[in-house]
Structure 1
Amino acid sequence: MKMNYVVVGTNDMAAAKAFYDALFANAGLQTMSPSDRMTYWLGEDFAFAVAKPFDEKPATNGNGTMVGFCVGTRDDVDRMHALALELGGTSEGAPNQRGPKFSAYVRDLDGNKLCLSD
């Protein structure tokens, strides 16, 4: 079984798109917006999206919900953590060895928690 895709909510599509466009700039992903309420970043075996909720209620982040991205090397983890902060994200854990992975944690502009790991 494979994961099909991950979607996180946003209340500001333009800001979310700018954040993830910049965060994923060196990842070789294609961007697709099938509607004004959803944007995808797509690659081989990779599909991530931000969306305004279909029910038109405010997007909220889930307590305990997190999306993990394998970004490459330790240097990539450091670089992307710093970039996410420059883009307005907030740190939830500086780059460090955690169990078998070197990882860092950030929240995007809507408060969605992301893990960046090697």
Structure 2
Amino acid sequence: MKMNYFVFGTNNMNAAVEFYDLIFKGGEMTKLNNEGRMTLWAGTDFFFALAEPFDGKQATAGNGTMVGFNVSASEVKRLHQLALSIGGTDEGKPSIRSDRFSAYVRDLDGNKICFFE
């Protein structure tokens, strides 16, 4: 079994799309769809999406839920700083953790993201 996609809920699609467009700019993720209640980006073998909840209720960040993006060490630093500069919050500055260089942020909806080498 192999993971195919990951979806974060959002309460402000426009702001969330702007956030992730900047995070994914210049990388392997390409926006495929930006219509209706879902926006989708594709990587080499992985899809990432933002969605307004189908049930119409408030989107919430899961406690213990996180998505990780494997990038170079320089990208860990750059993306962490970029995320903070566009409204994300720090959840762990770039450093070595368990033999991996990584950094953690939360997006505008409070979803947790890990950038790791």
Q: Normalising by structure 1, report the TM-score.
A: 0.95
Q: CA deviation at 1:34?
A: 6.0
Which residue of 2 is the match for residue 22 of structure 1? 22
CA RMSD of the aligned region, Å? 1.0
Distance 2:3 2:96 in 1: 25
What is the CA-CA distance between 1:33 and the residue it aligns to? 2.3
2:117 is the alignment partner of 1:90: no
Q: Give CA deviations for 1:43-78 in whole Å, capped at 9, x if unaligned.
A: 21020001000000000001011111102x211100
Normalization by structure 2: what TM-score? 0.96
Aligned to 1:102: 101
1:33 equivalent in structure 2? 33
- What amino acid sits opposite 1:58 in the alignment? Q
Name stretches of at least 5 consecutive residues in structure 2 with no aligned partner. none
Aligned-partner residue type, residue 37 of structure 2: R
1:111 lines up with 2:110 in the alignment: yes
Asked if the contact 2:67–2:113 (Cα under 8 Å) also holds between the matched residues in 1, the reply is: yes
1:74 equivalent to 2:92? Answer no
2:65 matches 1:62: no
CA distance in 1, matches of 2:28, 2:91: 26
Q: Deviations over 1:13-36 (max 9, x none)?
A: 000000000000011322122631
Moved over 6 A (4+): none
For 2:114 and 2:28, locate their aligned partners in 1 and report how far apart those are by CA, in whole Å: 19
What count of residue pairs does the alignment treat as equivalent? 117
Q: What CA distance in whole angstroms lies between the structure 2 residues aligned with 1:46 and 1:26?
A: 16
State the AA in 2 paired with 1:50: L
Q: Which consecutive residues of structure 1, in runs of 5 or more, have no partner in the other structure?
A: none
